[in-house]
Structures are given as C-alpha cells and as structure tokens.
C-alpha cells in the first residue's frame, strides 16, 4: 500500500461530490475513485462516506491508492505491419483498434504483446508493459509508431522527441471549416477535472502545440495536416475540439455524430499518423517513412470528396502535397 494522500477541502471544493474530488485531486478516473471509496480506501475526517457524499470546507480527505502489482507481459501471435526494422529500432504501421501497451481493461492483444510474440528484443523502459515504446498512438488512431530495440536507441530517440527533432505528421478530417488555411493551437492540456478518462484544455496543464494546414475543403468538413510540436495524450483531438472542429468520428470529444454521411465505420475516428521523419540513433542517417490512408479512411475520403481527380488517386495524400516539407 502506498503512503496516504491527504486532501484538505478548500472553500472552492465545498459541496463537491467525494468521488469527483478524489478523481480530480488524486489523478485517477472517477470510476477508480468510486472503487477506492467502496473498498474503504477513502475517508473524510477518518470516517467512511459514500461516493455521493458532499464534502465540507475544512475537512481532510485521506486516500490510499494500492500499489500497482507488476504483471508479466506475455508475447502473443498477433499480425503486425512492420515498415522498417534494424538492430536498433522498428517502425510499425499500427492498425486502428489496437491498444499500444497493456493497462487495466487491456492486458492482452496490445502492440507490446504482439512485439514480444514475434520475439523482438525491446529496450527496457520504466516498466515491462511499455518496453521499447518511444511514443504512443490512441487505440482508434492508425499509423506510424517508433519502437526502440536497444536502451541506447531508446534514450537517444526519447531525447530527440523531447527536443522536437522527430517530425510527426497526422492527417485528420474535422467537422466544419477553419477560418484560415493555417491554424496553430497552443493551449495547455491536462486531465479533464470532471472526467478523468478524458483530456481537456486546462489552465496549468502541460504545454501543447499543434500546427494545422488545410489540405482540402469539402461540403461539411476539412481535410487537415497536423504537425505535432509536443506529444500530449489526445493532443490533436483535444486541440481541434477546443476550436469547435472536432475530429470526424471522435465520440469522446464531440465529433462522433453523422459518421454514416462520411462513410466512416463504427468506433473509428478519422485520424492517421501518416508520416514520421527522424535521425537514426546509430547510423545518423535521416529516416523518413510514409503510411498511406488505410482502406476505411480512403473510403471515407472518397465519400466526402467532390474532386474526381482526388477520388481517382491511389494515394490522395501525395496528390494533396501532404508530405511536402513546407510548415
């Protein structure tokens, strides 16, 4: 059991539900907070209370979060699309629907399980369930992902990522139309104080910056290129939602409606990591990889497009100059 976390209830917190307060101040989801309360891990002035209890100013809420039990991550025979592999690293083209690493609710079937299943040596990181990962992609986001096989490669690539020397570009379809062809959103992101399973624009959150370039304008949506300067959880999705143009198909951040009108399948949002450029940690060679739109997103794009020349392209991103060096 970890050390108790004590939360003094301020005037501003008075009247808030206990589970909401615990989630907001203990960096857990509201469901996890309710579980902690139900199992006796939370007290208010040394008394057990219900999740719906309204806290009072001056009280002290004590939270005990059980220490995480280490789990062995087992290899599984799951097909992967490997774009590049050498002694230092891999570039994987992840399919939508695959979780990147094991976590509560997804202990199996992840990218890390698949990598271990093929016998890939992975760099040791802070935990076995994230071995080798340099960065991550959301479950329903497809595209290119960088994985380190040696600890040195991981260290060098992680430093390059932190210093913004790895160029990552995504293609997104967003509802509505940007006011201009170019938009930069520079707004901090943190856990949503009302729902710990989501992210939000939060004062005091972590710095987050995304550049957007409109590639095409359709009747109800824009096709955008997103260039990440930082790598916060759900960054592109949160930034687009914050300016009123959520990613098409994004149920979490307000873009999930009318997916049939754009030919998008259930539980799929239109966001794809289509390009990554970096310096190889061993050879110092400049490496550049592309991932064309997967079939379901290509179908969606052709559904909304009005330009027959665009519809006819095998790789619409090439036609729209997505891979250009500008911006």
Q: What is the pLDDT of residues 234-281, one digit of tens each?
A: 999 999 999 999 999 999 999 998 988 999 999 899 999 999 999 999
- Which helix (H) or strand (E) segment holds residue 151: the answer is helix 151-162
Domains in the chain, please, with CATH? 5-63 (3.10.290.10), 81-162 (3.30.2350.10), 167-319 (3.30.2350.10)
CA–CA separation, 282 vs 266, rounded Å? 42
pLDDT in the model for residue 127: 66
- Name the catalytic one among 19, 138, 192, 222: 138
The helix, strand and coil proportions of the chain, stated in percent and rounded to the nearest 5, come to: 20, 30, 50
CA–CA gap between residue 255 and residue 234 (Å, rounded): 14
Q: What is the pLDDT of residues 82-121, one digit of tens each?
A: 999 999 999 999 999 999 988 777 778 999 999 999 999 8
At 70 the pLDDT is: 59
Output the pLDDT for position 196. 74
What's the mean per-residue pLDDT of the chain? 91
Dihedral sign, Cα of residue 70, residue 71, residue 72, residue 78:
negative
The percentage of residues in the chain with a pLDDT greater than 90, rounded to a whole number, is 72
Sign of torsion over alpha carbons 235, 238, 241, 243: negative
In this prediction, residues 280-292 reach a mean pLDDT of 96
Annotated catalytic residue 129: no
Answer yes or no: is pLDDT of 1 > 60. no
CA distance 170 to 186: 17
């Amino acid at each position: 059991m970890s050390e108790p976390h004590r939360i003094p209830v301020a005037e501003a917190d008075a009247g808030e539900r206990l589970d909401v307060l615990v989630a907001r101040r203990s960096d857990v989801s509201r469901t996890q907070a309710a579980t902690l309360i139900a199992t006796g891990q939370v007290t208010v002035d040394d008394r057990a209370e219900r999740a719906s209890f309204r806290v009072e100013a001056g009280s002290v809420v004590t939270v005990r979060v059980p220490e995480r039990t280490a789990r062995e991550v087992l290899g599984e025979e799951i097909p992967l699309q490997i774009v590049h592999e050498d002694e230092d690293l891999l570039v994987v083209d992840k399919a939508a629907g695959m979780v990147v690493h094991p976590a509560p609710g997804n202990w199996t079937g992840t990218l890390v399980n698949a990598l271990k299943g093929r016998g890939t040596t992975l760099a040791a990181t802070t935990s076995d369930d994230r071995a080798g990962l340099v960065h991550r992609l959301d479950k329903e986001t497809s595209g290119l992902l960088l994985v380190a096989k040696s600890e040195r490669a991981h260290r060098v690539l992680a430093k390059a990522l932190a210093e913004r020397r790895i160029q990552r570009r995504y293609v997104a379809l967003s509802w509505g139309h940007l006011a201009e062809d170019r938009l930069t959103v520079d707004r901090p992101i943190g856990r949503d104080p009302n729902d710990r399973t989501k992210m939000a624009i939060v004062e005091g959150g972590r710095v987050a910056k995304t550049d957007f370039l409109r590639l095409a304008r359709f009747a109800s949506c824009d096709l955008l290129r997103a260039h990440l300067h930082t790598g916060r959880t759900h960054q592109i999705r949160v930034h687009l939602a914050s300016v009123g143009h959520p990613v098409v198909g994004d149920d979490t951040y307000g873009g999930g409606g009318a997916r049939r009108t754009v030919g998008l399948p259930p539980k799929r949002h239109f966001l794809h990591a289509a390009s990554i450029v970096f310096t190889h940690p061993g050879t110092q060679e400049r490496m550049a990889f592309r991932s064309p739109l997967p079939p379901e997103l290509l179908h969606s794009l052709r559904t909304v497009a009005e330009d027959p020349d665009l519809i006819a392209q095998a790789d619409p991103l090439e036609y729209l100059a997505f891979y250009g060096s500008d911006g």
